[in-house]
A = this chain, B = another copy of it.
Amino acid sequence: MNSTDPHGAAVTTDEVASAIAAVRATSPLVHCITNTVVANFTANVLLAAGAAPAMVNDPAESGVLAGVAGALLINLGTVTSAQAEGMDVAIGAAVAAGVPWVMDPVAIGALPLRTDLARSWARRSPAVIRGNASEIGALAGGLGGRGVDSTASPEEVAQTARTLAAELGTVVAVSGPVDYITDGHRTARVDAGHPLLTRVTGVGCSLGALIGAAVAASGDPFVGAVAGTALVCVAGDLAAADHTGPGSFAVALLDRMSDVRPEDVAARAGLR
């Protein structure tokens, strides 16, 4: 049963609301090894949602923290060979300790360092891989699957993600005007969000961290990925109702992530 099945949703509104409430109730520690552009915003998004951020990069320390965190985020946005060492150690420690980890393969495709890293690390049991259609397509193509080009329809993208998720045994979350989240068997759709979300740097990157928080709090990668996506999209819709400029919208986005009711997130997310 998946989202194309008219008879049922792949995830219930109760599950989504519960995951968001659980982030606030348990304040999971999310260890983020992420890019320098969005580190501040990502930390503030986690705090607004009720989670606790920590960011430790050096390989002498990154594994220590990853092993005790609620979740680990690996974001390749400004990866360097030095930072990749710390990421590699952290992934190893997370996997060894059973800590769920999220990979965000930012801008993979033409850029060689990150593309090689993402393809290699995709085999190390990430709980969730989050990206846009181009990034998910580049990952799928490089792993022997079928990539997507820029003319691919949303349904083609969703099919690529399903195949990738099934092959890797992970959840794949594809961000876009409509978001698709799939574990290869079930596929959920989140049909919410506002164009202003693309005018603030780090929204997508912080979604990766938020998914980590929701996975940690709910114990379920599929539900957690849907819940994190729904929270960003609905908070964006609420913020855009009062603010039209990207500066004030970003401020309101944090406010709404903090005060939106979990059941309202679930109800307004356009889940299918």
Contact = CB atoms under 8 A, between A and B. Distances in A.
Interface of A: 35-41, 43-44, 47-48, 53-58, 60-61, 64-65, 68, 77-82, 86, 107, 110-114, 198-202, 244-248, 250-256, 258-259
A78 B55 contact: yes
12 contacts: A37-B43, A44-B200, A48-B247, A55-B77, A56-B111, A61-B113, A65-B110, A80-B86, A244-B255, A244-B259, A247-B252, A247-B253
Contacts of A55: 35-37, 77-78
A64 B110 contact: yes
A253 to B, nearest CB: 7
Contacts of A35: 55
**Candidate in A47, A78, A246, A247 with the most chain B CB atoms within 10 angstroms:** A247
Nearest to A254: B247
A251 B254 CA distance: 11
A246 B185 CA distance: 38
A255 B259 contact: no
A244 B199 CA distance: 24
B47 A200 contact: yes
A53 B253 contact: no
Contact of A255 (B43, B78, B111, B245): B245
A140 to B, nearest CB: 21
A51 to B, nearest CB: 11
A19 to B, nearest CB: 20
Contacts of A64: 110-112
A44 B258 contact: no
Contacts of A251: 247-248, 250-251
Contact of A41 (B40, B80, B258): B40
B38 A40 contact: yes
Given A107-B56, A250-B247, A252-B248, A201 B43 contact: yes
Contacts of A53: 37, 201
Nearest to A53: B201
A48 B111 contact: no
Given A37-B39, A48-B246, A56-B111, 16 more contacts: A36-B55, A37-B40, A37-B43, A39-B40, A40-B41, A43-B201, A47-B199, A56-B78, A60-B113, A64-B112, A68-B110, A244-B255, A245-B252, A245-B254, A245-B258, A248-B251
Nearest to A251: B247
